Structure 1
Amino acid sequence: MSNRLLAIVEVSPEARIACQANGCGHAVYKRIHVVSINGSLQVLGSECFKRLFGGAIGGNPAYSSSDGRRLTDAERRMLQENTAQLVAQLEAEHEAAQDPAREKLQRISQSGIAREASGGPPHRFRAPLPVRQPAAPRRHLGPTPEAIRKYEAQAKIDVRAKFDVDPNLPGWRGLVLQRITELSKSDEVPD
């Protein structure tokens, strides 16, 4: 027989249970691992589970999510008193959750088989509708290179006059670019 992670569960902090690992006995309430070890059921805290099994047992439990399921008070008592009964209940819940999906697949499969058996055409999926491509964005025709040169020349004149600096020096290029933007929006450049 092999070792298998059956479920990860949790209980309220006030209703902690004892870890059943040899020599442990710590009270645990979150991420309680229910494990089948050579056919025998054992309830372990997460640290003992890691210590004992590391990566030897897959991290996905058979009958619960890997996040853990909060147990009711009755289920908690069952975990302590009759773990096998709780595992059977979790297995039944897991199977019931799987049935609707199985039934739907079976109905789809059988409807196709029945159609083919009656001489009707086999079930075919409709082709997806073509995806409509968005219209290409309209190109903004900005100023021509000649206009940009005019804007730049005017911007340098304005920056020199306003701040009494040389606009060709590295620290002032930002002001020149800002003024070019203002001029291009307002069309103030003389011809």
Structure 2
Amino acid sequence: MALDATSLGQFMISRPLVAATLAGGLLGEPGLGIQIGAILELFYLSEMPSGGFRVPELGPASVVAVALASTTGGPAGVVIGITAGLLVSELGGLTVEAQRRLNMTVTASVEATRVNELRLVCAHLLAMSLDFVRGGIVTLVGISVGTQVIGIVADRWTLSSESTMAIVVVAASIHLGALLRRFGGWRARQTVFLVGLIAGIIGTYL
């Protein structure tokens, strides 16, 4: 999942909806994976790993979210999973930034010597290997820390599934509303937005 973001392919399997669904399938909870992935997509629909600026890392975060949600179960599991996913995505973004600086060091060491095809291939493979290890560490740390706090949160979460999902969807929708600015703002797209909002609400209750 970490490699797909920028290092290899960019086949979009690191997007939350795909990554969480795959993780849910491996854990025997495909429905939960789709649910978690869809919610995380609402938070991160505007985030694309392009250019050199730092963005949250979505693939490992989605795996952590589904793993913790499936471990806990119920509405508390959804809250724990989504919260952990959001936190891990920010942590992953910080580690990506650190790795970019490390990649610059690797590139500088190659440029300091005679550049040939073999050296370039080795530098690329080294950077990809570091990205793979980094993503694995982020995932393991997220799951390990998350499992330590599951009991604390799960025992204290008393809201029903309906109330929990309402809170989560509203929070995600607020973030999603920022996309309006990219499509001309509220005045230019208010009709389309309202139609989509009404259709989404109706679809939720059908």
TM-score range, shorter chain: under 0.3
Flag the structure with larger Rg: 1
What TM-score results when the alignment is normalised by the length of structure 2? 0.25
Highest relative contact order (Cα 8 Å, sep 6+), 1 or 2?
2
More helix by share: 2
More strand by share: 1
